[in-house]
Amino acid sequence: MTGISLLAGPDPLSGMEAATSHRTRLGALPVAGPRLIEALERSDLRGRGGAAFPVGRKWRAVAGRRGGAPVVLVNGAEGEPLSRKDRVLMEARPHLVLDGAALAAAAVGAGEVLLYVGSDHGAAAGALRRALADRPEAERRRTRVVAAPARYVAGEETAAVRFVNDGVALPTSAPPRPFERGVAGRPTLVQNVESLAHVAMIGRFGDGWFRDLGRGASSGTALLTLCGAVHRPGVHEVAQGTALGEAIDTAGGGLTDASSAVLLGGYFGSWVTAAEAWSLPLDAATLRDRGHTLGCGVVAVLPEHRCGVVETARILSYLADQSARQCGPCVFGLGAIAAAVGRIASGGAEAADLERIRRWSGELSGRGACHHPDGAAGMLLSALGAFPEEFRHHHELGRCSATALREAA
């Protein structure tokens, strides 16, 4: 298939690719040096854990720090409930992830590599362990697997560092950020597994090759988790810059039902009306400029008979429950928002609820040690924009048109 890089080769669903197949198909791993960081900067590769931070800039920051040999923390704790792409990648292409980690360690001068993998991602951890057994001894000796707690915030980078240091997977106040002072006080490069797999390809084939994979001004490919009203849900790789509607039609096999909206980027993402969503290019920078986010690559298609208000209430209730409960605005503000949206969704709203959730979610941004409250507030604000009539119906009449459709069906 053209435009595919990480998932080319054997069927990703048939299990891990063996070391021999991996090497035969892609060739030996090149030597990393300062030129790799330059290539990453030119490639415009951005982090695929959700924040879309430029990878080359992050590596340069870590490589330029003093304070002991850096540590590479490979982030394979996929906490977003709708996302599967990191697990599929680790299970199917563990050598690509380890290649990226090896290049990172060489480029920033790290003496230690930690594979931080969700404790509920058993198959992924198993594939990485088996792949590691086939790697050179020097690489095996500096690498260990750390089981991350199965919580939403455990994948947040300061929480990952704190878990390795203290056994507590809770975010810490930043600064210092992990690249300044992370694992054992050392400069720490925390990088998502998909980002590292792309690095393994860029290291081999160059930044020009990577840029050419993208459509238009976009660069490279992205792993998406498609779910909801599509014929072929699951993890698909698409060229960045592809229109969302085209990705749903070609990779996702088209829609199973008429759709009213798409949740882009997962629980921390944004709701976009179907009318707007179809022509949106799948590209982190472009989406951000338009007020949306690709987050960790989740595209959840809401069928017309499901209610956006009810789904939003469910997600907020989950996010409030997953709060690390360290910061007041997250504990009380997010908790109150989730409760109010829950009342609106279930038809028991108080008169002030709709005004309150607007004000509260506007006040939440930037008021936590991590971005948990920001993500939840952004998702709610996007829902208020995408489902204005549904929210009004729920608030005033206690029900909405989607619920009526479902009951009729």
Partner 1 sequence: MDGPTLHVDRILCDGHGLCAELLPELVRLDDWGYPIVLPGPVPAHLDGHARRAVAACPLLALRLRQGGR
Rounded to a whole number of angstroms, the minimum distance from the CB of residue 363 to partner 1 is 6
- Residue 328, interface with partner 1 (CB under 8 A)? yes
Please report whether residue 327 would count as binding partner 1 according to CB under 8 A.
yes
Size of the site for partner 1 (CB under 8 A): 16
Question: In this chain, which stretch among 44-52, 69-77, 146-154, 362-370 interacts with partner 1, using CB under 8 A?
Answer: 362-370
Q: Which two tokens mark 330?
A: 């997250």
Taking the complex as a whole, how short is the minimal distance between the CB of residue 364 and partner 1, in angstroms?
9
| Residue ranges in 10-69 that form contacts with partner 1 under rule CB under 8 A | none
By beta-carbon proximity to partner 1, the closer residue of 221 and 322 is 322
Helix crossing, 372-386 with 353-364: angle to 10°? 140
* Interatomic CA distance for residues 389 and 218, integer angstroms: 35
Choice between 177 and 399, CB closer to partner 1: 177
For residue 381, the minimal CB distance to partner 1 (Å) is: 17
Figure out which of the listed residues 173, 250, 258, 355 binds partner 1, where binding follows CB under 8 A. 173
How many Å apart are CA 262 and CA 245, to the nearest integer? 10
Q: Looking at 245, 329, 347, 385, which residue binds partner 1 (CB under 8 A)? A: 329
State the nearest-atom distance from the C-beta of 73 to partner 1, in Å: 21
Q: Which of 369, 376, 379, 400 contacts partner 1 by CB under 8 A?
A: 369
Both tokens of residue 212?
Answer: 């050419």
Beta carbon of residue 173, minimum distance to partner 1 (angstroms, whole number): 5
3-class DSSP state for residue 205?
A: helix
Asked if residue 168 binds partner 1 (CB under 8 A), the reply is: no
Nearest CA to 155 out of 325, 324, 408, 294 is that of 324
Query: Please, are residues 386 and 261 in contact by the beta-carbon 8 Å criterion?
Result: yes
CA distances from 15 to 38, 93, 224, 261, 402 (A): 34, 9, 19, 33, 40
Q: Is 165 in the site for partner 1 (CB under 8 A)?
A: no
Any contact of residue 360 with partner 1 (CB under 8 A)? yes
Q: Which amino acid is at 375?
A: G
* Comparison of 310 and 327: residue with beta carbon closer to partner 1: 327
CA torsion, points 342, 353, 309, 283, in degrees to nearest 10? -110
- Helix (H) or strand (E) run with residue 212 in it: helix 207-213
Amino acid type, 340: A
Footprint of partner 1 on this chain (CB under 8 A)? 172-173, 175, 326-330, 332-333, 336, 360, 363, 367-369
